[in-house]
Amino acid sequence: MPASAPILNKHIDRILVDQKSIADRVRELAREITENHPDPSEPVVILCVLNGSIIFLADLIRHLPIRMMLGVIGASSYRGKETVSQGASIWHRLHTPIELTGQHVLIVDDILDSGNTLRLVRRTVEEQNPKSVATAVLLRKPDKAPPDVQAEYIGFDIEDAFVVGYGLDYAGEFRNLPHIAVLKSECYADADGD
């Protein structure tokens, strides 16, 4: 355990998904994605939604034995210390020599809750006329996810709690936790009232 762990863990209420469960499920997701890839002779463009899905993406692609290209797009529904979605916005456009037209695209995101970010990113990708589009999310809150926003690949369904770790943050912190954890409410109790 890193020396900083006690400092980080004092803000954690409980661990929701442990490190081993994440590793096992990421391998399973990679197998599902590989088996369902529309055309193994063609590469897939994997589009990482910054910043929360970086760790998920890094682990996932190490288990994908398919041809791929990587791109990134910055989009978020949460800003700073907010814990309630404020509507999605793209803050970093897809700046890459990768052409999405006629390509198979896999969008990789950290969490599907309000659906605002995923809806916006998927619409942005579909406007470029890809051959196919699929989405992989590490987490989904089924009680909040709207029916019009679907993910083909889901790591874990979780309760409606504010979670951090494994790339997910609160005010830019806690991304480096190796598990998915529920943040203590006192850490953000006054944030949404500001």
Instruction: Inform me whether the pLDDT recorded for 157 exceeds 70.
Output: yes
- Asked, for residue 56, whether it belongs to a domain, the answer is yes
Between the alpha carbon of residue 33 and those of residues 5, 39, 85, 152, the distances in Å are: 33, 12, 29, 9
Full residue range of the structural domain in which residue 68 is found: 20-158
* pLDDT level of residue 98 (50, 70, 90 thresholds): confident
Catalytically active residues are 113
The 3-state DSSP class for residue 136 equals strand
* pLDDT level of residue 159 (50, 70, 90 thresholds): very high
Q: CA torsion angle for 55, 178, 150, 141 (degrees, to 10)?
A: -150
DSSP string, 59-75: HHHTT--S-EEEEEEEE
- Asked, for residue 174, whether it belongs to a domain, the answer is no
- Asked, for residue 26, whether it belongs to a domain, the answer is yes
- Asked, for residue 34, whether it belongs to a domain, the answer is yes
* Number of structural domains in the chain: 1
Q: Residues 38, 132: contact at Cβ < 8 Å?
A: yes
* pLDDT level of residue 39 (50, 70, 90 thresholds): confident
Instruction: Inform me whether the pLDDT recorded for 125 exceeds 50.
Output: yes
| Rg of the chain (C-alpha set) | 17
**In percent, how much of the chain has pLDDT > 70?**
80
Structure confidence by residue, pLDDT tens digits, 51-97: 899 999 999 999 999 999 998 887 765 554 554 545 555 544 555 55
CA 44 to chain CA mean position, Å: 18
User: With a threshold of 0.75, does the pTM exceed it?
Assistant: yes
Record the tokens describing residue 50, joined without a space: 């910054």
- Asked, for residue 95, whether it belongs to a domain, the answer is yes
* pLDDT level of residue 131 (50, 70, 90 thresholds): very high
Domain of 48, CATH number, reads 3.40.50.2020
